[in-house]
Structure 1
Amino acid sequence: MVVRGALLSLSALLLLGAHAQREQQQQPRYIIELEKGSTFLKHLNDARVHYQYDSDLFYGASVEFASPARARAALARHEVVNSWSVMTHQHPAFSTDDESTDRPQAFDKSSFDASALGVFANYTNHDGNDGTSVRVGIIDSGVDYRHPALGGCFGDGCKIAYGYDLVGSDYPASVTPDDDPLDDCPVNAVGATGHGTFVSGIIAADDKSLNWTGVAPGVKLGMWRVFGCNSQSSTSDVFMKAMEMAYKADMDIINISLGTNGGWAEDALSVLADRLVAKGVHVVVAVGNIGTSGIMLTAAPATAHNVISVGSQFGDHVPGFGLNLYANNDSDYYDLAYRTATSKPLQVNRTRLVASSRSFNASSDGCQPYDSPLHGAVLVHDGGCSLHAKALYASRANASALIIYTDTTGTATTKTADASLPIAFVNHGDGKILFDALNTTATVELTTSLRALKRTDGEAGWVAGFTSLGPTNELELKPEIIAPGSNLFSTLPLRQGGYGLMSGTSMSSPYVAGTVARMLTGGREVEPAVVKDSLMNFAKPNKAPVATTASTGDSPLRQGAGVINYERALAQPFRISPAKLSFNDTEHINATQTLTIYNNGETDLKMHLVHGPALTVTDYASKDDTPLEPIRFAKSTSETAKVAFDDADVTVPAGSSVKVQVHVTPPSGLPDHAIYGGYIGFETRSMAASVPYIGMVGSMADLAILDRSNKYDPYPFPSIGYPNGTIVQGEGYFAINDSTEAYPVVLARLLTGTPLLELQVLDQHQKVLGVVPYDLAGETTREWLPRNTRSATSSSKIFDNWSWSGEYTTADGKENWVEPGLYYLRMRALHVFGDRSNDDDWDTWTSPKLHMARSSRYFSNSANTTAIPTKLSPSAAATSGDAEDIVASPPPSGMDGFSVSVGPKVTSV
């Protein structure tokens, strides 16, 4: 199903000047790593220290400087080991199978029937391994520990025994930390997501009233609150402080169901997460919920090398709700079920059931205006026209609700925006029951009673389409494992109803964290690498979701090692390390790699090695380097890699290890940058394990970074923009003064992530004068940039923009301002694996002529500018194979300055 995004929002573009000013007024803020024992902080002037970090993980501080110049001078000091701009992170959107929302589906427990609860809260049979003596730290939105299922208290002797509130409920308006991590947000507050309470329940709930538990109900929990009630965003320095505090509280496991800025292991959060693992902490992280936006978008810190990065799988059931049908003057009663596109129930009181057509399965049912009023809930066959049209015609005929019966035995749903009346979906069989009842006096009632409905045939157990995809920009496999994360049942704050359903990798991550806790029950000391190896080795890879390639495995790019299987991981006496392989791209291929088989058992193991090919992912458009959103699969199972072993039969002595070499031959005949993959199987007489692998055809260095496709005519990228929402077409005219209303703005869409984007200032002869300082654009850093996406998400942008005040830094570090005259800006993006000193390793674009004057005259040459339209002309999208109508809309929340979206966004794979 297709959702058309916003394109070229003029109203948002007009905010550009105000946005640029906000950037300049915001003081530069950095996370700074220092040499241990450094006196750096004592010598800061006009700077505010937000947080200090002092542990064997990281020594340093988060510092806000009075000006960019002060920041640059401080960061140049010899005590500075590393630095990162402080970034604002949006709380990850909660996903359903069909969409992302900012609210969970909440229920009063009286609305559950026993069978539905048993399905959605079916976490585990504990077998005595319930996480006792294990501490699990959670970094999230706080927790309602007053919930009986979470122990009802906080502190010593309670289930939730540790934690801290780093921000306070009024954050970000004010920061009021205290030692109580209670989520006390009012129900209607922007930040009232209940996310942390829900995550806590998945891990550790022990609910006596409903007789269900989380994965590891014996653990002790800690909660470090990093989100307030007034916003769904926080900053990276807050997250890092929370990670440090959890470490100092001696957590065995830390769950992080948040993240952004995908694709780079060099992100500050990822660096700290890897250091936690090196100290023996098991770190489990959600990969994100933007899977339909294509590859290389794993959210940090899931990009860290040694954490367990987790995606989601679809469950066997989906949430439905009770539909009561009364027929034959109430003498007949049918208990049916319906679904909605948002997985939220409708509340439609008992009303008359009316038909759209006289025949069952009518084609184009409800696709024309009605001749007479309907006055009731109208039953309509799916198909023949858009759902929006069916709803519009029914609404105009005074229908109170629309009941769509599908052509499947499952109860599928279709998304629709701005529906004009409530829409419920029923399956084909229930549709026939409803239709037949129309021969009598029939009424229906749509209730909020939760039901468990069988998922559409073929989808159960698949990778959830919302799971963000790897690999990292440096071709490391992510996600590494998948776990239940679709329509899970758990706890919510009591003021939000106490219970609910959520979907997303945020829910899968605590499932895995609880599983790790079970493996550590009773104080077992197992190194994080061993636990990760075991979980990945004994996960179950899914088959391909494409019927014509059912004999081939699904790509590791979507599922890592496969679906988590605790019982197998705990029971087996052997493991294989490393638990995943990347053969890199063809240019840098590491075609032969070594795996080590460890036999911890008391008997020798005879093993046979096999190769299980998986689907090859075609992730870029065939005519250019535009990432496909969503990804596609190679059409033939022959388009897979070949894997060979020096010896396919090995014996591993008891208590010993054996090394085996693996040789890969990438598939031929595929377009460059396709990602191949598969599984190396290890079979014994009674056991089996596997190791996933990936590789890329071609060279990462050949991928374009800067989008020059001109799909966005008359608004091309790259370009120079005026703050009034127009684009330089010939020569640009700007002013050098203190007003950001006169500054040029550099606009770019990145097709590939880049380690560094540099803006060079050139004189009229195109001689390099220096570079635009990296801190002039507030928190829109130009290091470790992820690629852009066609629609804005909670963790990705459609494009990047940076304003330039006329300042530049020379090669010897001196700061200068341009004098009035003619200049150019040259944008350079470094390729992945590129050498900064090699000009050939940069993707480069040079701006039109930029006239810089003392006074503002940038409106005086209107012939050289073009205004941004409110709707893209049909021809403008014609170069895109996926192009459909694209209409302007207000900018999505959290976008910087203005908004663009390209083509359709498909919301399921």
Structure 2
Amino acid sequence: MDCQGHGSHVAGIVGGDARNITGPLAPPQPWVGVAPEVTLGGYRVFGCTGVTGTDILLAAMEKAFNDGMNIINMSLGGGSSYKGYPTAVLGDKLSKMGMTLIASAGNDGSEGVWMVGNTGLGDESTSVASFTNAFGRFQTFTYGGGKFPYNPASNFGSVIDLPASATLFPLFDKAGVLQDGCDAAAYTGLDVKGKVVLALGDYTRCGSGARATIAKATGAAGLLTHTTPFGMTNIGGIAGFPMASIEHAGGDAVLAAYKKNPANAFTWSKTPSDITVEGGGTLSDFSSYGLDGDLRSKPDVGGPGGNILSAYPRAKGAYAVLSGTSMSSPYVAGSQALFYQGKKGGPRGLETRKIFKNTATLTKSFGSKNLASAAKQGAGLINVMNALTSTTTITPDHIDLLDSIRLRKTQKITIKNTGKKTETYVLSHSPAEALNSYYDGTGYPNPAIHFEEDFASVTFSQNKVKIPAGKSATITLNFAEPKAGDAKQFPIYSGYVIATPEKGNVPVHIPYTGVKGDISQVPIMDVKRGWPKFQVANAQGQLVPAPANYKFDWKKDTAAVLVRLGSHTPSLTVRIYDAANNLKGYLSSTNNGPAFGFSGRTKNIKDGKLVQTGYIWKGEVFAELNSTSPTALPSGTYSLVVAAQKKFTAGAYPADFEVYNLGSFKQ
């Protein structure tokens, strides 16, 4: 009975059972959760606004442990970070005591690399990516003789019902190229009143709410977004305005029909239909990319999270189809429960994660001939039957090669035969597509990733090994980073080391990841677009650039330091120096606390605006990094300096930092 339905949906995926329900609460089709015999423990951490504090999350995790829960599912997150994030730290401690922590990898696939979510970053936690369901039940429309599914904006509703007079209007520019609808100027001189606008579904420039607002203001009857690169996207839109995403192939077909006959009419369905989803069975476009701040292999594994039917509050219809890593995480949590039930007193914690990673199903990106990056799919799509029946494990369950300067080129793996007969294993290597986000020279990761064939090579101390039942063998691996790929563009390469039993048992594998180039040279601050900034609130409460040597009166003035990070930093500090260049302390913000410590990268764009993080300031500082409370600065002249430590450096200031002096002020 949660307010928004998210918790009900997640719980249903883990352990729901709607196979024998009749009457007014019957589901649109019978379905069963992953582990219908599971015992669920519910720990409320959100109010109806969907906001919570880390302290509440930690308390809930501890309570779950004290209540005897075996598995914690956390379908939540707060952006990219390091494994020192509090929930990740506690997750590791609980795992060492036999629990399993499963967490969403995040829904920031449209943001590009370095965005895997913080909650599952622990060394022993499981960070879960999303794969799109191969089948779905969607409302449809017919146009030009074709039938097409659509995914309505969540803020609008579930069914679009427009009159036949609402004909299609593709939002072309003068060259005939479909535009994304992010600019009101794109509608200049166009009459879209009463028509359904078709726009490009590329969300790298702005969100769905901004597009819907602009289209509604022009008098459009509705808005369809032509998804790129494939599938249907989850969009929010705005209340009261019909908006939906459609599949890429469907959008192409609609455009082709329009060009043949612009007068074609829409017919909107009254009931949903079962369809085969474009891109179904492959990675969801929204699923976040790694790596984490330490170049660790995250996410760990994937589960079905796109277009998932599950429970919903009765007041909202009792059932719903939702998408997100919030859905894939409980699928993996339920799979862990099935495994525990099947194995009874068998392995727990990190050992279980290893088995699931070893036995997952490797997949290719939609439309690609190459395996998807391990920085996107982890070890692949979870396969419970493989996990239950496999008689082989590989330790460790992943290899972090780091970067070119720190390349861990020699690695050892241990293959264990847990079966009852001697087995011979053949060792092999399958590379995956590389991710290049720094090809445009801006210094900020481009969300439109270039996929490259930058393949590493691997040699084995022996290509075949015979292992008796219950015994293990250690193999030495030697890696060479890709010859292809520009080291100045920091491509993330990856692949899989595979051990295949000759007698036909389940093959097992582990992923490896690395970065070509010197990771300490990856730009951190978005300098070319003007960050960081020092600003002051004017009489209207708007932030404007602080004048040089501005004199603050902290009883009435408010300042802000604005940052925009394109990559993780082990230490982001805002430092205050006096006129003699003596360090007086670190900024104490009223919204984000002390301005020091590790930090993940910033999201790219929201509703047409570049995202930034603001430290709101009222003149207080933490005198030392270990200070417990801030103090006010005395009167004087000071300067503000933002310093972001480069990754994999010792942290010597200023040599190991990107340093930006934001100018002087008085008080």
Query: Which of the five TM-score ranges fits, normalised by the shorter chain?
Result: 0.7 to 0.9
Q: 2:567 aligns with which of 752, 756, 759?
A: 752
Q: 2:509 aligns with which of 656, 671, 690?
A: 690
1:199 matches 2:10: yes
Q: Deviations over 1:744-802 (max 9, x none)?
A: 4322222222232233332324x224212557655465322112122259xx9523324
Counterpart for residue 471 of structure 1: 291
Q: 1:498 aligns with which of 318, 327, 333?
A: 318
Give structure 1 stretches of 5+ with no counterpart. 1-143, 145-182, 184-191, 328-333, 358-362, 853-909
Q: Distance in 1 between matches of 2:461 and 2:86?
A: 40
Q: Distance in 1 between matches of 2:367 and 2:51?
A: 38
1:708 matches 2:527: yes
Q: 1:449 aligns with which of 271, 284, 297?
A: 271
- 1:194 deviates by 1.0
Q: Distance in 1 between matches of 2:169 and 2:552?
A: 64
Q: Distance in 2 between matches of 1:730 and 1:433?
A: 55
Q: Distance in 1 between matches of 2:642 and 2:385?
A: 53
Q: 1:662 to 1:394 in 2, by over 3 A?
A: closer
Q: Deviations over 1:219-244 (max 9, x none)?
A: 11110011123x21011111111101
- 1:319 deviates by 4.1
Measured on the aligned residues, the alpha-carbon RMSD in Å equals: 4.3
Query: Aligned to 2:88, what secondary structure does the other structure show?
Result: helix
- 1:810 deviates by 6.5
- 1:254 deviates by 1.1
Q: Distance in 2 between matches of 1:407 and 1:519?
A: 37
1:556 matches 2:371: no
1:699 matches 2:515: no
Q: Deviations over 1:683-703 (max 9, x none)?
A: 122132211100112222222
Q: TM-score, normalised by structure 1?
A: 0.61
Q: Distance in 1 between matches of 2:329 and 2:196?
A: 40
Which structure: larger Rg? 1
Q: Distance in 1 between matches of 2:36 and 2:274?
A: 24
Q: 1:297 aligns with which of 112, 115, 134?
A: 115
1:579 matches 2:401: no
Q: 1:350 to 1:830 in 2, by over 3 A?
A: closer
List aligned pairs for 1:288-687, cutoff 5 A: 288-323=106-141, 338-340=149-151, 342=153, 345-348=158-161, 422=242, 427=250, 446-456=268-278, 459-521=279-341, 523-545=344-366, 547=368, 550=369, 552-634=370-452, 637=453, 639-668=454-483, 669-672=485-488, 673-685=490-502, 686=504, 687=506
Q: 1:812 to 1:515 in 2, by over 3 A?
A: closer
The question of whether the paired residues in 2 share the 8 Å contact of 1:370 and 1:394 is answered with: no
- 1:293 deviates by 1.1
Q: 1:804 to 1:403 in 2, by over 3 A?
A: closer
Q: 1:619 to 1:428 in 2, by over 3 A?
A: closer
The question of whether the paired residues in 2 share the 8 Å contact of 1:829 and 1:842 is answered with: yes
Q: 1:532 to 1:381 in 2, by over 3 A?
A: closer
- 1:602 deviates by 1.1
The question of whether the paired residues in 1 share the 8 Å contact of 2:17 and 2:31 is answered with: yes
Counterpart for residue 733 of structure 1: 550
Q: Distance in 2 between matches of 1:319 and 1:828?
A: 51
List aligned pairs for 1:252-271, cutoff 5 A: 252-271=70-89
Q: Distance in 1 between matches of 2:653 and 2:219?
A: 68
Q: 1:465 to 1:818 in 2, by over 3 A?
A: same
Query: Aligned to 2:272, what secondary structure does the other structure show?
Result: strand
Q: Distance in 2 between matches of 1:660 and 1:764?
A: 60
Q: Distance in 1 between matches of 2:44 and 2:641?
A: 43
Counterpart for residue 182 of structure 2: none
Q: 1:249 to 1:808 in 2, by over 3 A?
A: closer
Aligned residue type for 2:380: G
Q: Distance in 2 between matches of 1:835 and 1:394?
A: 51
The question of whether the paired residues in 1 share the 8 Å contact of 2:587 and 2:617 is answered with: no
List aligned pairs for 1:791-810, cutoff 5 A: 791-792=605-606, 798-805=612-619, 807=621, 809=623
Aligned residue type for 2:445: P
Q: Distance in 1 between matches of 2:163 and 2:511?
A: 54
Q: Distance in 1 between matches of 2:284 and 2:227?
A: 23
- 1:448 deviates by 4.3
Q: Distance in 2 between matches of 1:416 and 1:233?
A: 18
Q: Distance in 2 between matches of 1:466 and 1:803?
A: 35
Q: 1:801 to 1:603 in 2, by over 3 A?
A: same
Q: 1:433 to 1:735 in 2, by over 3 A?
A: closer
Q: Distance in 1 between matches of 2:657 and 2:177?
A: 54
Query: Aligned to 1:193, what secondary structure does the other structure show?
Result: coil
Q: Distance in 1 between matches of 2:626 and 2:284?
A: 51
List aligned pairs for 1:214-293, cutoff 5 A: 214-229=33-48, 231-293=49-111
The question of whether the paired residues in 1 share the 8 Å contact of 2:15 and 2:37 is answered with: yes
Q: 1:402 to 1:594 in 2, by over 3 A?
A: closer
Q: Deviations over 1:90-144 (max 9, x none)?
A: xxxxxxxxxxxxxxxxxxxxxxxxxxxxxxxxxxxxxxxxxxxxxxxxxxxxxx3
Deviates more, 1:811-820 or 1:555-564: 811-820
Q: Deviations over 1:566-595 (max 9, x none)?
A: 111111111111111111122222111111
Q: Distance in 2 between matches of 1:535 and 1:218?
A: 20
Q: 1:618 to 1:820 in 2, by over 3 A?
A: same
The question of whether the paired residues in 1 share the 8 Å contact of 2:487 and 2:518 is answered with: no
The question of whether the paired residues in 2 share the 8 Å contact of 1:780 and 1:802 is answered with: no
Q: 1:802 to 1:705 in 2, by over 3 A?
A: farther
Give structure 2 stretches of 5+ with no counterpart. 22-26, 171-175, 179-186, 201-207
Aligned residue type for 2:604: R
List aligned pairs for 1:718-867, cutoff 5 A: 718-724=532-538, 725=542, 727-728=544-545, 731-737=548-554, 739=555, 741-765=556-580, 767-772=581-586, 774=588, 778-779=592-593, 782-792=596-606, 798-805=612-619, 807=621, 809=623, 817-837=632-652, 839-852=654-667
Percent identical pairs in the alignment equals 25
Q: 1:784 to 1:353 in 2, by over 3 A?
A: closer
Q: TM-score, normalised by structure 2?
A: 0.82
Q: Deviations over 1:822-870 (max 9, x none)?
A: 2212222222333234532222122222222xxxxxxxxxxxxxxxxxx
Q: 1:379 to 1:812 in 2, by over 3 A?
A: closer
Q: Distance in 1 between matches of 2:576 and 2:223?
A: 60
Aligned positions, number: 623
- 1:649 deviates by 1.1
Aligned residue type for 2:37: G
The question of whether the paired residues in 2 share the 8 Å contact of 1:758 and 1:771 is answered with: no
Q: 1:578 to 1:744 in 2, by over 3 A?
A: same
The question of whether the paired residues in 2 share the 8 Å contact of 1:577 and 1:596 is answered with: yes
Q: 1:571 to 1:446 in 2, by over 3 A?
A: same
- 1:392 deviates by 12
Q: 1:204 to 1:775 in 2, by over 3 A?
A: same
